[in-house]
C-alpha cells in the first residue's frame, strides 16, 4: 500500500513537467546556452492555438556566433534522433555549408494522438547567425501545419 | 452434587430435556445409561437415544473445542480486518483523487490561458504579441521549403 501511494504521488508530481523537458534543446529555451537577455521567446498554450490544432507553441529566436550556433545545432541533432521517421510526412531537413539550415522534425508522441514537433532555422549574415527554435505539440499533422503556416 | 442413582437420573434427564445440562451432567447421564446393568423400563428409550448419539455425533471435548478455536481466526476479527483494509483503500483513493485535483486543476486552467512573451529579458503578458511572435517564427520556418522564398533569401543574403 505504501509503495503504491509513493508511486502514485511521484506520477502526479511529475505531470506538471512539460513534455518538452525531455528534449536536449530545452537547454536553449531555458537560457543555458545563450543568455536569456539575448532571447526573444514566446510561449502560448491552450485555447488560443485551437485554430491551428495545437496545444503548445514555444519559440525562441536569438542572434549568436559560430560557437553557440554549433552547440545549439548539436543539441537539435541529438533530439532529431527521436524522430518518427525519415518520410516527408514527418520530416523536412536541409543542410548548407555543412551546417543545419532548417529542419522541421516530428518526434515520437508521448501521448497517443498528440504529435510533437521541433523546428530549427539558421540565417547567417556576416559572422552572425540568427537562429529560430520551435517546439510545438498538438493534433495537427505536418501537412496541416504546412498548409497553415507556409507562405504562398 | 447428587449421587448418580436412578432417582437422580430422572432429574438429570429433566434438566437435559430442558436444555439445562452441564457437560458434567451429560457425562454422568451418558455413563449411567450406557453402563447400568439393569435399567428401569422407562429409562430404556433414553439409553438407546444416548447410545445412538454417541455413535453418530460424538460430543467434542472442551480441549478439542479450545484447540479448534485457537486454530481458526475469529470470524469477527477477519471481517473487521477486511473492513479496515477496504477503508484504507478508499481513504488512499480519496487522497490521491484530491491530490491530483488540487495539483492538476490550476495547471489545466493555466495551460488554457497561457500566452507570454519574453523580449530583452522582460516578461510581457501580452497574448497578442506572444501569438504574433509564435506565428512569425513558424511562417519563417515553414516557408523554407518554398523555392521562391529560398532564392529570395539567398539573394538578399548576398
| Top-confidence residue, A97 or B106 | A97
Which residue on chain A is closest to B129 by alpha carbon? A42
Q: Touching check for A47 and chain B: CB below 8 Å? A: yes
- Torsion angle, alpha carbons of B59, B65, B68, B72, to 10: 120
The Cα angle at residue A89 between residues A83 and A94, in degrees rounded to 5:
70
Indicate yes or no: CB of A146 within 8 angstroms of CB of B142: yes
Residue B60, phi-psi category: left (phi > 0), alpha (psi -120 to 50), beta (remainder): beta
| Top-confidence residue, A117 or B6 | A117
Cα–Cα distance for residue pair A42/A116, rounded to 1 Å: 17
Helices (H) and strands (E) in chain A, counts: 4, 6
Backbone angles phi and psi of A39, in degrees to 5: -95, 140
**B20 SS3 class:** coil
- The x, y and z cell numbers of residue A116, run together, are 510533437
Which residues of chain A lie closer than 8 angstroms to B121, CB-CB?
36-37, 39
Collect all residues from B whose CB is shorter than 8 A from any CB in A: 88-89, 92, 95-96, 99-100, 103-104, 107, 110-121, 127, 129-131, 133-135, 137-146, 149, 153, 157
Of A78, A26, A58, which is closest to residue A138 (Cα–Cα)?
A: A58
Cα–Cα distance for residue pair A38/A72, rounded to 1 Å: 14
Which residues of chain B lie closer than 8 angstroms to A134, CB-CB?
134, 137-138, 141
Q: Give me the pLDDT at residue A134, please.
A: 95
Q: Give me the pLDDT at residue B134, please.
A: 92
| Top-confidence residue, A125 or B61 | A125
Indicate yes or no: CB of A124 within 8 angstroms of CB of B157: yes
Q: Give me the pLDDT at residue A16, please.
A: 37
Task: Name the pLDDT band for A74 (thresholds 50, 70, 90).
Answer: very high
Per-residue pLDDT for chain B (158 aa), expressed as one digit of tens each?
Answer: 455 677 788 888 888 888 888 888 888 888 888 876 677 778 888 888 877 776 655 555 666 667 766 766 555 555 556 667 778 888 888 888 887 777 666 555 555 668 889 988 888 888 888 999 999 999 989 888 655 555 555 555 54
What does each C-alpha distance from A21 to A17, A28, A30, B52 come to in angstroms?
Answer: 7, 11, 10, 83
Q: Give me the pLDDT at residue B61, please.
A: 64
- The x, y and z cell numbers of residue A138, run together, are 498538438
Which residues of chain B lie closer than 8 angstroms to A44, CB-CB?
114-116, 127, 130-131, 134
- The x, y and z cell numbers of residue A75, run together, are 543539441
Residue located via cell numbers 518520410 = A87
pLDDT digits (tens, 9 = 90+) for A136-151: 999 999 999 999 988 7
Interval A73-78 mean pLDDT: 96
Of A48, A61, A150, the CB nearest to B145: A150
Question: Judging by beta carbons within 10 Å of its beta carbon (0-12, 13-18, 19+), is residue A121 exposed, middle or buried?
Answer: buried
Rounded to two decimals, what is the model's pTM?
Answer: 0.57
Q: What is the mean pLDDT of chain A?
A: 86
Of A4, A12, A102, the CB nearest to B141: A102
Let me know: does A132 contact B137? Beta carbons within 8 Å: yes
Of A16, A44, A121, the CB nearest to B131: A44
Strands of chain A (E only): list them. 40-45, 54-64, 91-96, 99-111, 114-125, 128-138
Does the pLDDT of residue A47 top 60, yes or no?
yes
- The x, y and z cell numbers of residue B62, run together, are 472442551
Q: Give me the pLDDT at residue B68, please.
A: 66
Amino acid at each position: 500500500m505504501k509503495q503504491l501511494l509513493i508511486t502514485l504521488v511521484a506520477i502526479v508530481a511529475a505531470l506538471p513537467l512539460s513534455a518538452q523537458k525531455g528534449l536536449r534543446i530545452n537547454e536553449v529555451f531555458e537560457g543555458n546556452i545563450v543568455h536569456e537577455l539575448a532571447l526573444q521567446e514566446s510561449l502560448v498554450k491552450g485555447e488560443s492555438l485551437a485554430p491551428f490544432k495545437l496545444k503548445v507553441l514555444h519559440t525562441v529566436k536569438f542572434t549568436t556566433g559560430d560557437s553557440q550556433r554549433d552547440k545549439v545545432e548539436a543539441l537539435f541533432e541529438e533530439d532529431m534522433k527521436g524522430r518518427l521517421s525519415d518520410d516527408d510526412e514527418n520530416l523536412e531537413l536541409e543542410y548548407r555549408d555543412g551546417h543545419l539550415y532548417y529542419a522541421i522534425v516530428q518526434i515520437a508522441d508521448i501521448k497517443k494522438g498528440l504529435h510533437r514537433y521541433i523546428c530549427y532555422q539558421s540565417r547567417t549574415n556576416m559572422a552572425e547567425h540568427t537562429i529560430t527554435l520551435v517546439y510545438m505539440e498538438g493534433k495537427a499533422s505536418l501537412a496541416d501545419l504546412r498548409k497553415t503556416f507556409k507562405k504562398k | 452434587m447428587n449421587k448418580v442413582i436412578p432417582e437422580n437420573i430422572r432429574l438429570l434427564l429433566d434438566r437435559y430435556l430442558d436444555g439445562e445440562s452441564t457437560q458434567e451432567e451429560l457425562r454422568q447421564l451418558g455413563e449411567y445409561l450406557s453402563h447400568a446393568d439393569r435399567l428401569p423400563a422407562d429409562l430404556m428409550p433414553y439409553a438407546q437415544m444416548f447410545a445412538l448419539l454417541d455413535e453418530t455425533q460424538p460430543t467434542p471435548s472442551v480441549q478439542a473445542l479450545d484447540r479448534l478455536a485457537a486454530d481458526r481466526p475469529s470470524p469477527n476479527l477477519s471481517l473487521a480486518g477486511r473492513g479496515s483494509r477496504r477503508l484504507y483503500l478508499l481513504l488512499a483513493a480519496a487522497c490521491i483523487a484530491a491530490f491530483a485535483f488540487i495539483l492538476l486543476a490550476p495547471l489545466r486552467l493555466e495551460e488554457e490561458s497561457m500566452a507570454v512573451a519574453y523580449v530583452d529579458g522582460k516578461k510581457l503578458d501580452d497574448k497578442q504579441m506572444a501569438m504574433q511572435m509564435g506565428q512569425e517564427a513558424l511562417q519563417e520556418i515553414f516557408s523554407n521549403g518554398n523555392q521562391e522564398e529560398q532564392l529570395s533569401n539567398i539573394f538578399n543574403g548576398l
